[in-house]
Structure formats: C-alpha cells, structure tokens
Amino acid sequence: MPNWLKDAVFYEIYPQTFKDTNCDGIGDLNGIIEKLDYIKDLGCNALWINPCYDSPFKDAGYDVRDYKKVAPRYGTNEDLYRLFGEAHNRGIHVLLDLVPGHTSEEHAWFQESKKAEKNEYSDRYVWTNCWIQGVAGHPYIGGEAERDGCYMLNFFKCQPALNYGFLNRTESWQLAPDDPACIATREALKDVMRFWLDRGCDGFRVDMADSLVKEDDENKSATGAIWKNIREMLDKDYPEAALVSEWSNPHQSLKSGFHADFYLDHHGNGYNTLIRDNETPGGDHSFLKKDGNGDIMRFLLDYLPKYDNTHKDGYISFITCNHDTPRARRTLDYDELKIAWALFLTLPGVPFIYYGDEIGMRYLDIPTKEGGYTRTGSRTPMQWDSSKNHGFSDADPDILYLPQDPSEDAPTVEAQEKDPASLLNVTKELIALRHKYTDLQADGSFDVIYAEKEQFPFIYKRGNLLIAINPSDSKASAALTEEAYIDKDDKKSTKLTPVYSIGEFKQEDNTLKLQAQSFVVLSLV
C-alpha cells in the first residue's frame, strides 16, 4: 500500500475545461501546470487527470487512439513529463486515467485486428467467426472490416472491446482468460502502465475496471485475477504507485489488488442517499439536503458492511462529484455544500474533489459534446475570476470547448477567496483539518456513536475525534453514551474540546445540541 495515500486529498481535473493557455478554447497541460500553486493552496496533494492521450474524442478521450502519446490539443509528452515534475516539486502526486477495457476504433492495434490476414493483433479484440454471427447479450458491429466477423463493443460504437477472454465460454470464438492472446492483452496494458510510471506518473485511476473478462462469474474472479497480477508487478517494481478503481464494489475491487475504489453515484446506494436522492417519487430525500428529511440509516446500512469487510484491504473513496455525475450544486446551496464537504472530508478513505466543486459551480443544461450527453453540464470551464471567460481562456467565447455559467452570480475563485465564509475557504479549512489530524486520514478508525432512523444528528468517531453533523433545517440533539468519551487508548476522557465547527453547537452535560446546518469536531484529549 503506497504510504502517501493515507493523507491524500485528490483533485480531479477534466483537462478540456480547466485552464487554456494557447487561446484555442480548450484547456491544456500548461494550464494545469499554471494552476498547481492554486491546487496546493487548496490543500489537495494529489491529482487525477482525466484521459489526456491521443484520441479522436468521440467519447471525450475515453476512446484512446495512442496510449503513449499526449493528445495535441493538450500539448506534448514533454509537457506531461514537466507536469509530473512540477507537481512533485509541490508535494503533489499525479494519477493518470487508464482505459483498459477498450480503445478507439482508430487505434493501431484495432486497424491491424480488422485485417483479413491473421496477425499478432487479430485476437487483441473480441471477434466472432463470421460476418453474420453477432455477440449474444452484448453490443457489436458487423460489416465494417475486411475481416469475416463481428466485433464486440465495450461501450460506445467507437470503442471495440479488448480481449481478456471469457470465463464461461459457449462459442468457439470465445477465448479463455489464460489463452496466450488474452495474456498478451494484459501484458500490453502493463507495458502502457510502465511507460508512464517510468516518466513520473504516480499511478492510475482505472476506467470501468470490472469490465475486462466477459461472462465472468458473479464475483468477477477472472477480472480480479488480472488486477492481482498487475498489482504484483506494481508491488515489485513500483511500490509507491497507486491503483484506484471505477468499480464501486470494494469487496471485489480491493480484494483484487486495488488500493482504493470509488463510491459511485448509483441509484439507491448509500452514497446516492446522502447527496443525490432526487430521482424517487415524493421529492429529494438526500440526507445532506436541509429540507430532505433524510435518513442516515439508508447510508449506513449500505456503507458499513462495505467498510467493515474491506477497510483492512484498502480504501473506499468518496467523491464530491466527477465528470460522469451531476454537480451537487444542482440541488444543494452553498451552506448545504459546506456540510456535505465536511462529511466527505472527515469519513475514512481517500476523498476526491471535482474541479469547481470547491466554489460550488453549477450544473448547466447544455447540448452534448464529445459523447457527454447528460454529463456535459458537469464538464464546463473552470471559473477563475471576473475577467473574460471567467479567466479560463482569452479565446473568443464562441470557440470555448463548452459554454460557461451565464448567471451574474456565477461563482469564481477570485470572489470566494476574498470572503472568509465562502465555500472555497471552508473547503480549505476542512482539508487543512484532515491533514492536521492523523485520526482523519484514510486508515483512521471509524465508529458510529449516534445514528437513528429519520433522526438528526449523525455522530461518529475517528480515533480521538468526535464528529457531529446536523444537515437539517431544524435544531437537533443527542445524548452521548459512555462510548463517546473513550479514546483510542481505551481511556475515558474528562472533556470534549472543540477543534472546528460550522454553525453553532452546545454541549450540556452529556447532551450535544446542534443548531440547523451545523457540524462540529471535538477532541477527546
């Protein structure tokens, strides 16, 4: 386990829309380098950069044409190497996005695989034996190659599936996961990883990490075996390299070799009930919405089994948002976001902040771009200041990659830096708090002290810190049991000392009283 992950707070950057330095309306690597000091000042000490590889951009870069080449729109390989170095000089680690399940249909491997003549890439992708034979249960394409066969897709039409084999085989064209061709695919992936690790990359966030072996069993054992093999390579040759999965099943992912797994916004799961439970009849019942009348038990009943069964294997990562998820500002106001970020930054695991969430950027209802569809509204250009294009670019506004928030009160870094009570400054305080107390780090203990169905507050312990949160629009209180006063050395504390708070609270005897929309951290020592 890379030791640096314990105190990591990640900042996710969608490179197209972070900072444009060459006036083409698209963000670039030099723009990220230019803003590294901002990221450090925010308190984030790690980056996840969405795909910046060469691509035809039919899926915003998740259709990779060349894994070892930076897309010209972002700069050059040398620019990325320089980004690694400049980040490291500031104590910032950098993860690249790895896309292992598919490539672009324009990738050189696929161009060879399409040929009628047998070659070393013929089985790099999943093909049937005949042009009239489809892939049952999976999307596929036929009639677009010299080769007599149809090829499987992993997602969009532009993304042919790489071949890691089929665990449960029913057709002659389905290869076993240990077939030499499937092993060659795995080794090609490792070669890509080594290429970037040797040049300064600190690891990878892995896209659709559970999608490798087809017709896998319910435990994803064959896909997991591939990642265990890759983890062995990392442990041997790159022990400080981190591997983070887009899987959202820590029982499978962390036991398969990943160091951390995203807790994604899947409808009805624990994370969804906290912040985005707005797709069910009867309104928004998110726990972190002040008038949602939420229920913390809906979160805990999903989260606790996952945490209890996996926290010795790795970390569950909470996200404020990501490039696939509606921004939380869509339904939460600034005060609600402060409480939400307070929760995410004080729970176990490795947290990820999506660019712009620290200032409460809005989700915009705009047309799709590069396969974004409903996700496009969360990918708009960063809003830095009150200058042209909010400081994102000096280009003509008409050529920006995506439009920006047209509201007069569109949030900017510049404005919020001047306001001590702004979401930006509260976010900085919360990140600083996490760095200050080792009990708040990824591997610190976690114990629920008070949580009742459809009741507030929620109180939990991280080591010697007692944390209480009341996101509702009404006062709330809870009696503290003896367990709340026992420190991690099994000694009873005589008092609880406040170390940070949002809103007002009061401790009277053994009762903790919180005003509406409040959060407090108390130390037992």
Same fold, 3-101+182-438 and 445-523: no
Say which residue the tokens 């990220």 belong to. Answer: 32
* DSSP strands (E only) in 175-325: 203-206, 242-245, 260-262, 315-317
Are the C-beta atoms of residues 131 and 148 closer than 8 Å to each other? yes
How far apart CA 89 and CA 40 sit, in angstroms, is 11
Rounded to a whole number of angstroms, the distance between the first and last alpha carbons of the chain is: 30
Question: How does pLDDT run across 445-459, given as a tens digit for each residue?
Answer: 999 999 999 999 999
Which helix (H) or strand (E) segment is 306 a member of? helix 296-310
How far apart CA 265 and CA 263 sit, in angstroms, is 7
Q: pLDDT at position 305, please?
A: 98
Q: How far is CA 250 from CA 258, 260, 315, 349, in A?
A: 9, 8, 8, 11
Question: How does pLDDT run across 220-253, given as a tens digit for each residue?
Answer: 999 999 999 999 999 999 999 999 999 999 999 9
Question: What φ, ψ does residue 94 adopt, rounded to 5°?
Answer: -130, 120
Residue 484's closest CA among 441, 520, 437? Answer: 520
Instruction: Give the homologous superfamily in CATH for domain 445-523.
Output: Golgi alpha-mannosidase II (2.60.40.1180)
Q: How confident is the model at residue 491 (pLDDT cuts 50, 70, 90)?
A: very high
Q: Would the pTM of this model clear 0.95, i.e. be above it?
A: yes
Question: What φ, ψ does residue 217 adopt, rounded to 5°?
Answer: -80, 175
Q: pLDDT at position 256, please?
A: 98
CATH architecture of 102-163: Alpha-Beta Complex (3.90)
DSSP 90: T
The residue extents of the domains of the chain are 3-101+182-438, 102-163, 445-523
* Nearest 10 degrees: Cα torsion 289, 425, 392, 330: 0
| Rounded mean pLDDT, 88-94 | 98
Query: Over 90: is that where the pLDDT of 345 sits?
Result: yes
In order, the DSSP letters of 307-357 are HHHHTTT-EEEPBS--TTS--GGGT--HHHHHHHHHHHTTSSS--EEETTG
CATH number at 3-101+182-438: 3.20.20.80
Residue 11's closest CA among 423, 278, 317, 300? Answer: 317
Question: How does pLDDT run across 500-519, given as a tens digit for each residue?
Answer: 999 999 999 899 999 999 99
Q: Coil, helix or strand for 150?
A: coil
Which helix (H) or strand (E) segment is 70 a member of? strand 66-70
Residue 139's closest CA among 123, 126, 129, 122? Answer: 126
Q: pLDDT at position 509, please?
A: 86
The strand pairing partners of 476, in sequence order, are 514
Hey, what are 25's tokens? 């309306």
Pairing of strands 260-262, 505-508: unpaired
Residue 360's closest CA among 386, 344, 340? Answer: 340
Question: What φ, ψ does residue 512 adopt, rounded to 5°?
Answer: -105, 120
Catalytically active residues, by annotation: 207, 246
Q: pLDDT at position 83, please?
A: 99
